[in-house]
A and B are shown apart, each in its own frame.
Chain A
């Protein structure tokens, strides 16, 4: 009997689920190529509603993958989101894991 864990049996199972959701994957992808992005910019890029985006950013923040800097601009709350070092490493790892799995497939 095999004592392999689920992730060893199928590499997809080992993928980081925090990133793997389509909405969070979009957010992480954009943050990966930018230093920081504000909420308005991200809603335009992703097409997500404000509330939906806030929920996904909240989950990424809980995981320590993004940090949200809240300030005030012209007396209005203003949030800027950026990838943390941990988030950048997690995204790199996710990217290479996914690539390895998909590259094994025949054309």
Chain B
């Protein structure tokens, strides 16, 4: 083992944890079903209820994730419990996500109170979307780097592209504008399926040699 590997112990553990592609499947399914929100709202569903399919799928997905992790992944690769306190990489991702959420909240408040239109009347319409697209790419790229999972860079690019494509399609049908997000979600689902297939092939079930003494 090289000294570089020793210093990257936390990164190696993170990379092992995300090798199975389950997180990709979870996030991909969420984004794909998020595209249902607009059609449901158009059908007269209240906004909060129109998010039910994607949030519901996320909740069910989390349960399935835990079961698959325990029944399928653990016998092949084992399990590690890692807290934010011990693992700087995960802590940084968490902090990045919190900062992003706070910025989103501030921009949402500025936009909904009319501050943005009063103080920046000549701003291009896509400015806020471009900011979120760049932030989303930054977040996924950061995840890709800290988790040693290059496929997250692609997800970041696809999602950022999706956001800008939705801006371009705003003039068209509201349903057509959902196509990019379906595309982004499916890219992640496919990425997850590929990662899971490779994982199952590369890691057969380990015959443990533990005695029950």
Contact = CB atoms under 8 A, between A and B. Distances in A.
B117 interface: no
A34 B209 contact: no
Interface residues of B, number: 26
A26 B6 contact: yes
Contacts, number: 81
B86 A77 contact: no
Interface in B70-95: 74-83, 86-87
A45 interface: yes
| Main secondary structure on A side of the interface with B | helix
B210 to A, nearest CB: 4
B9 interface: yes
Contacts of B118: none
B36 interface: no
Interface stretch (B10-18, B103-111, B126-134, B143-151): B10-18
B83 A78 contact: no
B82 A35 contact: yes
Among A33, A42, A51, find the residue whose CB has the most chain B CB atoms closer than 10 A.
A33
B208 interface: yes
Interface residues of A, number: 30
B120 interface: no
Contacts of A70: 210
Among A34, A54, A77, A78, find the residue whose CB has the most chain B CB atoms closer than 10 A.
A34
A36 B9 contact: no
Interface of B: 1, 6, 9-10, 12-13, 16, 74-83, 86-87, 203, 206, 208-212
Given A39-B78, A77-B208, 18 more contacts: A22-B1, A29-B9, A32-B86, A33-B9, A33-B86, A34-B13, A35-B81, A35-B83, A36-B81, A37-B81, A39-B208, A41-B77, A41-B80, A43-B206, A54-B209, A70-B210, A77-B211, A78-B208
Which 4 A-B pairs rank lowest in CB-CB distance, beginning with the nearest?
A41-B78, A40-B78, A33-B10, A77-B210
Interface of A: 22, 25-26, 29-30, 32-47, 50-51, 54, 70, 72, 76-79
